[in-house]
Amino acid sequence: MKKPTTPAAVPMSRLGFAVLVLGQPGLKSNDTRRWQKNPHLRTSIGYLDAIFGYLEKQNITMYRMSSDVAPYVTHPDMPQFHHQVKEATTELRALGRRALGMKLRLSFHPSQYTILNSPDPELNRKSVLDIESQATILDTMEAGPEGVVIVHVGGVYGDKASAMDRWVHSYQNLPEASRRRLVLENDDISYSAADVLRLHERTGVPLVFDSHHFACNNPEGLDLVDTARRFLESWPSGVRPKTHVSSPRTQMRELKRKNKQTKKLETVAVPPLWTGHADYCDPFAFIDLMRRMPEAVEFDIMVEAKVKDLAVRRLRNDLLRYAPDIAAGRFGLEVSGPVPPEEEIILSEPPAVKETADLP
């Protein structure tokens, strides 16, 4: 296997988003056809190439690819899909060269079913295969060491200490190519920043600081700035860290619930869950966070917002309007003349959050 190519240095922090593009109709993130239609990574690569064109036009230099770009690639009962990465080597190389030319930082974030600390050996085996597949895609694209696969620790299973021990064992037994790409993120419910810092001390795994998760899950009362610094310093020398930023959803949620008396579905409004992501990123909270983060350390920021690329585009304009010093000093954003007016983008299918549950 060829060693990943290190891209040219990028002087300013990147802002990026995950998977779906909402700012240009018709862009697909991956081949979603069912197995009977013979979906393939090659089709997803064509979709990604079109997305890269959009990213280039919008000057967005960080993007998280769908974890499903290679359909059924690790499905245990569908061996006909297991060799897609090798079959698409030429196309992946070409896509990687384009990303390198754009200085585009790429990553993966496997689904919540990719769990390295599960007590179920089969689920653990499948999780290792998922990570290995995504790491191999990045290697085949010759992505630099900033191209990472981000995971959470997983479940607690009634015994956090044993669950953390299992994570360490699984991490240490990953193939070297997978371990080289893997990074660990603090989550909003089970594993706090303090927990993943302990795992870093035991394994050396680089850490992704999620400020929203930190706000939701910090029972140890760690200081934000000091914790962020420790996360950023967990990365190898010469590899730029990445962080995750989002704002909590504040609006009421509409749920479809079955009324136990009438047996009919009805719509009810309930308060928000603070762990949920908002459509956009609160610019004032973001600016405050940037002013508190270590100035001497360069890092990239994945904006985790419901409207994806639109949130990044809006945040850049908000920075120019409300914090031009941060816009220029941290992100290299400058405009001559007035800040551009707010964009009005009509979505053919506005994003919606639908939830169902039984009435108590």
Question: pLDDT 10s per residue in the chain (360 long)?
Answer: 333 343 444 458 999 999 999 999 999 999 999 999 999 999 999 999 999 999 999 999 999 999 999 999 999 999 999 999 999 999 999 999 999 999 999 999 999 899 999 999 999 999 999 999 999 999 999 999 999 999 999 999 999 999 999 999 999 999 999 999 999 999 999 999 999 999 999 999 999 999 999 999 999 999 999 999 999 999 999 999 999 999 999 999 888 888 888 888 999 899 989 999 999 999 999 999 999 988 778 999 999 999 999 999 999 999 999 999 999 999 999 876 666 666 666 665 555 544 433 333
The span from the CA of 56 to the CA of 95, in Å, is 13
Phi-psi region of 194 (alpha: psi -120 to 50; beta: other; left: phi over 0): alpha
The span from the CA of 360 to the CA of 342, in Å, is 43
The span from the CA of 71 to the CA of 114, in Å, is 15
Whether residue 10 lies inside any domain: the answer is no
265 three-state secondary structure? strand
CA 283, 286, 288, 290 torsion-angle sign = negative
Strand arrangement of the beta sheet that strand 355-358 belongs to: 265-270, 253-258, 355-358
Q: How many domains does the chain have?
A: 1
Whole-number pLDDT of residue 360: 33
Whether residue 280 lies inside any domain: the answer is yes
Q: What pTM does this model have? A: 0.90
Look up the CATH number of the domain holding residue 65.
Answer: 3.20.20.150
Containing domain of residue 283, as a range? Answer: 15-249+275-344
Whether residue 267 lies inside any domain: the answer is no
Whole-number pLDDT of residue 80: 95
Beta bridge partners of 301: 15, 243
The CA radius of gyration of the chain, in Å to the nearest whole number, is: 21
Whether residue 257 lies inside any domain: the answer is no
Whether residue 354 lies inside any domain: the answer is no
Q: Which two tokens stand for residue 2?
A: 């060829």
